[in-house]
Every structure is written in C-alpha cells, then in structure tokens.
Chain A
Amino acid sequence: MDDRLSRVFAALSDPTRRDMVARLTDGDATVGDLAAPYAVSVQAVSKHLKVLEEAGLVTRSRDAQRRPVHLEAEVFDLMTAWIERYRRRAEERYQRLDDVLADLDHEQPTPETPQEETAS
C-alpha cells in the first residue's frame, strides 16, 4: 500500500496532473477533453495520464470507443486518512501543551527572565 501511495504523491507533484485530476472530479473525460485547455500536445497529456494511471489515480474504460478517463476516488480517501492521522497527532501534541500551559498559569512564570536551563 505504501509504494502505491508514494506513486500517488509523486504523480500529484506535477501541477498539470493536479489540474487534470481536479477536472476529473467533475466527471469522466476523454483525452481530447483533458488536452483542450493546455498548450501541450495530446501526446504530452497522454504521458501525464499514464503516470496518473500507473499511480492508480485514474482508469480508462477498455470497451467504450472514446475510452473516457475515470477518477478513482477511493485513492483520495487514503490520502485524506493520512492527513487526518497527521492532524490527530498534532492535536494530541497540542492537548499535552494545553495541560502544560494550564500548569504554567499556576507556576506564574516570569517571561522577562531569559531561560537559562540547559538540556539534560
């Protein structure tokens, strides 16, 4: 799973591919549709699509003649899960800081005094 996610993030590190993905959230599109707004060739867009396909971000229908490109939304759910885990870790850390700050209130610190402690 992790290799796959690495490919996903690598695929999304390119602004054109991010834009293509954003447009596919509106619905399936053909290579020609996707190429239209860019000043690049259909071939260049196909290369970007190949990267997205290899990352599992998009699939292309095998049967339909126009072979529309389809966004695989569940990949983004995994990324959302990662970001949520990261956020929770931060939140846990800051809840500990909440407790520390509450203690500092009682300790009545004198912020004007430079902290001279050295790490143990």
Chain B
Amino acid sequence: MTTAPAHTRFDEAAIEADPTVPIIHIRRDFAGTPEQLFRAHTDPVVLARWIGPADCTTEVLVWDATDNGRWRYSVTDCNGVPQFFRGSFHTVSPDRLVQTFTWEGMPDAVALETMTFEDLGDGRTRLHAQSLCDSFEGRDAWLRSGMEVGVNDGYAALDTILADGSL
C-alpha cells in the first residue's frame, strides 16, 4: 500500500490507477473525526445520504457492517433503471473496513475494497479507499463506468450501453 507524504493535502479527491497492479486508490480529506467517517460508512441511514449519485435514488437494502456481514444497495437513475451492487464485509474496525464489491450486472467480477480512516490530528480525517480488482480489464471497465449509472453528464450513450448489458 502506498502512503501519501504527510504534507500532502487532499482537499479534493485524488485518484491513482496503479500501473503494475489493478488497483485504484482514492484519497480525500474530510472535516470530521475517524469515528464520524466510520459511522458514515457503517450506519445504513447515514450512508444512504451520500453514497449514490445525486441524480439517482439510492436504496440501501442490506447493510450489516460487521465481520462476515453483507451489504446490498440499489441505485436507480432518473429513467427508472435500477442497478444493484452487493458484497460482504470482511473486517469492520474503527479505522479500517475491508469489504468486497460487485456490480450485479457483472457478477463474476469482484473487487476487494479497503477503506482506512487516518486521523490527521486537526479535526480532519483522511479517507484512503483502495480497490483491488481481479484483472486490469476489470479495473479499467470499472474506471470506465464510474461504477454508477449517471445521466445528464455527457456520457448518456455509454451509460445506455452499460445498462442494457451489451458491454
């Protein structure tokens, strides 16, 4: 796992696609405590307020954030097309979550996600979300899709391809 230099700030999300392993890193600093970040990722009521795209309806169907727990949610775009995502929780601890992630439209592809909450000591917390995909093709398809079906962003044609399963 790469560690960002201490002086680097991530006021905006920074993304890094590793060239040697099929990993995506996202780093972002938040005004909040690690406890709050943990709650935002494990409390389904709180999670539903931010996880899905703004122009879609997100419904958290299962969110059992415990070791060996499972999760599932749906994202429905403004055309009423739902996409389902699911996975399991491997590790749920205050500063580290490990869970699998699958888009049910491509159920054989599974990513292993590790989220860490690093206390920056000034009321801020750094989220590092690492997604390990099972192939470069899977990783890049994931990057391509943005994981979520969105519209009105100039990529509607690509989203249609993704939604109808022809990809």
Most buried by A among B36, B62, B147: B36
Known: A91-B12, A111-B35. 13 other contacts (CB 8 A): A9-B136, A12-B136, A87-B15, A87-B26, A90-B13, A93-B51, A94-B13, A94-B127, A98-B31, A100-B40, A101-B40, A117-B44, A119-B44
**3 closest A-B pairs by CB:** A13-B136, A96-B50, A111-B35
**Interface size of B as a range:** 35 or more
Q: List residues of chain B with CB within 8 A of the CB of A12.
A: 136
Q: List residues of chain A with CB within 8 A of the CB of B37.
A: 101
Q: List residues of chain B with CB within 8 A of the CB of A76.
A: none
Q: Separation in Å of the A24 CB from the closest CB of chain B? A: 15
Query: Which residues A1-50 have CB closer than 8 A to chain B?
Result: 2, 5-6, 9-10, 12-13, 15, 18
Q: Separation in Å of the B82 CB from the closest CB of chain A? A: 16
- Assess whether B161 is in contact with A2, with CB atoms less than 8 Å apart: yes
Interface residue? B84 (CB, 8 A):
no
| Chain B interface residues toward A at CB < 8 A | 12-15, 17, 19-20, 24, 26, 28, 30-33, 35-40, 42-46, 49-51, 53-54, 59-63, 65, 127, 135-137, 140-141, 143-144, 146-148, 150, 153, 155, 158, 161, 167
Q: List residues of chain A with CB within 8 A of the CB of B161.
A: 2
Residue of B28, B45, B61 touching A94 (CB-CB under 8 A): B28
Interface residue? A77 (CB, 8 A):
no
Query: Which residues A37-93 have CB closer than 8 A to chain B?
Result: 82-83, 85-87, 89-93
- Assess whether B31 is in contact with A87, with CB atoms less than 8 Å apart: no
Q: List residues of chain B with CB within 8 A of the CB of A117.
A: 43-45
Q: Separation in Å of the A4 CB from the closest CB of chain B? A: 12
Given A101-B30, A101-B31, A104-B40: A13 and B135 within 8 A (CB)? yes
Residue of A6, A9, A87, A92 touching B14 (CB-CB under 8 A): A87
